[in-house]
């Protein structure tokens, strides 16, 4: 086989990996928050305003850059057909990002090809690609910075890419900061063009927030900080960590407080990293960058009680990189190592993610989306309001104006929380009189039951158990094995 053809193996791996992962589109597993970003993009299309409810400006999405990307996909493909092309685009960008990463840490084209495929089919690699969040673009930009900036020494990359990275997510200042510190320690000098790019990135993002929204940071950050309780004792912090750590380091959500798989994987990651950096290879420069960032991001977000698992997708993958390199570069029993990794980890992870995607896709697309579609048909006046949580599927598919409990898409509820956090929900209902309420709870029981009984009627009950059936018996068994979703009660206002 010619050397030229062998050198193209990583490119072939990118194509094969993308095509393989497109099968997951059939599961319809799309993250709730993606629909918030997409509604913001469509609001920009309809009203010319970055917002959520008509012409009211609000940074309801965590990502500005992805909003504009989603806007253009809506513009090109239309509101009814943009989702699949955008998910494919995300998957392609993420996989190209793994190609950049393989070029930084490996030399053998065969190793690069296997690396790209194995990294891409791990649960975080699948979720980054298919769930509709901004992390496919973000991973591509971050790896492009390392490759074109710190490897190829392209000055333009140091200026442009930090701006795009920060405009995608403001918390990427962690990534940019870790890369700067490792580069400074490694080369014993400040790379001023990179500093300029970082400064311009921060100024661009903050200036955009200030001049467009009148705020320094995204509303989503302010809302979550206000509504989520962070007052924990030391014992509560410890218990929280024990319960949560397996979700973040282990790539795998298992029931229970102790996850031995996570412990083993975590230790093996550290051992492989130490083994690799002792070889004094030039790639250690990049291994230090990605490994320190992975740990820093996890620790910072865990310390802030950041529950959402998508914060940890990129760190999970980067921390696993030393394991893949270690296995691929074994000179003795290499096939045994690769086979063992595939049989005992990669394939079980892939199987788990497949079941998880099918079950969660059913709970989100076939169940939660149904609520939005019901309201879309039932309520023709799209200027009516609904109060609910979360603000993804139901607002997107119903088209109704929305107040969410956390205040991601509506600032007025934040004002009520500041005044009276304990009673902000009922106070919002009494003052703003939304036509619809969607609640996990039975509102006709409890402290404010009398008010709800007078002013609202129970319109419809939505139950997860009603969506666990399928003509395909295998799918039905998966739905029952891992039921996904939350029971809801939908109320309609009957009098003022």
Q: Express each pLDDT in 369-399 by its tens digit.
A: 999 999 999 999 999 999 998 888 999 999 9
- Cα separation of 413 and 387, whole Å? 10
Tell me if 36 sits within 8 A of 66, measured CB to CB.
no
* All residues at 6 or more sequence positions from 259 whose CB lies less than 8 Å from its CB, including other chains: 245, 246, 250, 252
Residue 151 lies in a domain: no
pLDDT band at 487 (very low <50, low <70, confident <90, very high): very high
Give 255 or 366, the one with higher predicted confidence.
366
Tell me if 130 sits within 8 A of 25, measured CB to CB.
yes
255 pLDDT exceeds 80? Answer: no
Q: Which domain holds residue 389?
A: 359-493
254 pLDDT exceeds 80? Answer: no
Task: Say how many domains are in the chain.
Answer: 1
- Cα separation of 478 and 358, whole Å? 7
Residue 335 lies in a domain: no
Smallest Cα–Cα separation from 124: which of 300, 327, 350? 350
Integer angstrom CA distances of residue 68 from 81, 122, 135, 162: 17, 28, 15, 17
Residue 286 lies in a domain: no
Residue 281 lies in a domain: no
If DSSP codes are grouped into helix, strand and coil, which group holds residue 282? coil
Residue 373 lies in a domain: yes
Average pLDDT on 251-279 reads 79
pLDDT > 70 fraction of the chain, expressed in percent and rounded? 94
- The least confident of 254-258, 262-266, 301-305, 463-467 is 254-258
Smallest Cα–Cα separation from 172: which of 162, 187, 180? 162
Average pLDDT on 122-149 reads 95
Which residues are paired to 51 by β-bridges?
57
256 pLDDT exceeds 60? Answer: no
3 pLDDT exceeds 90? Answer: no
Say what the pLDDT of residue 308 is: 78
- Cα separation of 416 and 203, whole Å? 31
- Cα separation of 240 and 231, whole Å? 12
pLDDT band at 302 (very low <50, low <70, confident <90, very high): confident
Say what the pLDDT of residue 118 is: 95
pLDDT, averaged across the chain: 90
402 pLDDT exceeds 70? Answer: yes
**CA of residue 249 relative to chain centroid, distance:** 15
Residue in the block written with tokens 């996990």 = 440
349 pLDDT exceeds 60? Answer: yes
Q: What is the DSSP letter of 122?
A: S
Residue 320 lies in a domain: no
Say what the pLDDT of residue 301 is: 83
- Cα separation of 468 and 488, whole Å? 16
Characterize 343-367 residue by residue with b for buried, 16 or more Cβ atoms within 10 angstroms of its Cβ, and e for exposed.
eebbeebbebbbebbbbbbbbbebb
pLDDT band at 496 (very low <50, low <70, confident <90, very high): confident
329 pLDDT exceeds 70? Answer: yes
pLDDT band at 257 (very low <50, low <70, confident <90, very high): low
252 pLDDT exceeds 70? Answer: no
Residue 415 lies in a domain: yes
67 pLDDT exceeds 90? Answer: yes
29 pLDDT exceeds 80? Answer: yes
- The least confident of 139-153, 226-240, 272-286 is 226-240
What's phi and psi for 388, nearest 5 deg?
A: -160, -175
Q: How is residue 360 written in tokens? A: 């969660």
Smallest Cα–Cα separation from 105: which of 68, 64, 150? 150
183 pLDDT exceeds 90? Answer: yes
């Amino acid at each position: 086989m010619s050397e030229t053809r062998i050198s193209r193996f990583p490119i072939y791996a990118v194509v094969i990996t993308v095509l393989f992962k497109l099968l997951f589109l059939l599961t319809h597993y799309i993250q709730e928050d993606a629909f918030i970003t997409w509604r913001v993009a469509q609001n920009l299309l309809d009203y010319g305003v970055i917002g959520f409810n008509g012409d009211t400006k609000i940074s309801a999405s965590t990502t500005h850059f992805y909003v504009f990307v989603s806007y253009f996909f809506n513009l090109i493909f239309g509101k009814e057909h943009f989702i699949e092309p955008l998910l494919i685009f995300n998957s392609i960008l993420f996989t190209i990002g793994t190609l950049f990463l393989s070029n930084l840490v490996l030399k053998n084209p065969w190793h690069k090809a296997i690396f790209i495929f194995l990294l891409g089919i791990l649960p975080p690699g699948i979720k980054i690609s298919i769930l509709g969040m901004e992390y496919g673009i973000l991973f591509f930009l971050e790896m492009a910075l390392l490759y074109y900036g710190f490897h190829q020494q392209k000055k333009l990359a140091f200026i442009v890419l930090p701006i795009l990275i920060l405009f995608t997510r403001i918390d990427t200042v962690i990534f940019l900061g870790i890369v700067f510190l490792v580069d400074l320690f490694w080369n014993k000098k400040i790379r001023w063009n990179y500093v300029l790019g970082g400064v311009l990135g921060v100024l661009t993002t903050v200036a955009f927030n200030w001049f467009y929204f009148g705020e320094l940071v995204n509303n989503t950050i302010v809302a979550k900080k206000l509504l989520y309780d962070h007052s924990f004792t030391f014992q509560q912090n410890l218990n929280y960590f024990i319960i949560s750590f397996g979700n973040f380091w282990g790539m795998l959500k298992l029931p229970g407080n102790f996850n031995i798989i996570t412990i083993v994987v975590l230790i093996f990651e550290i051992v492989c990293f130490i083994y690799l950096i002792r070889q004094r290879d030039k790639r250690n420069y990049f291994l230090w960058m990605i490994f320190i960032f992975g740990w820093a991001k996890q620790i910072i977000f865990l310390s802030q009680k950041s529950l959402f698992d998508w914060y940890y997708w990129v760190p999970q993958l980067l921390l696993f990189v030393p394991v893949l390199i270690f296995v691929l570069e074994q000179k003795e029993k290499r096939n045994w190592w690769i086979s063992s990794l595939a049989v005992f980890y990669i394939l079980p992870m892939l199987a788990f993610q497949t079941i998880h995607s099918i079950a969660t896709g059913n709970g989100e697309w076939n169940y939660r989306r149904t609520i939005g579609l019901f309201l879309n048909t039932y309520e023709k006046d799209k200027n009516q309001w609904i109060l609910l949580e979360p603000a993804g599927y139901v607002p997107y598919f119903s088209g109704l104006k929305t107040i969410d409990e956390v205040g991601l898409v509506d600032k007025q509820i934040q004002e009520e929380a500041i005044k009276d956090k304990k009673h902000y929900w009922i106070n919002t209902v009494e003052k703003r009189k939304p036509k619809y309420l969607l609640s996990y709870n039975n509102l006709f029981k409890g402290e404010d039951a009398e008010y709800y009984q007078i002013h609202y009627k129970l319109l419809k009950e939505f139950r997860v158990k009603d969506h666990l059936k399928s003509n395909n018996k295998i799918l039905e068994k998966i739905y029952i094995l891992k039921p996904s979703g939350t029971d809801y009660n939908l109320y309609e206002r009957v009098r003022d």
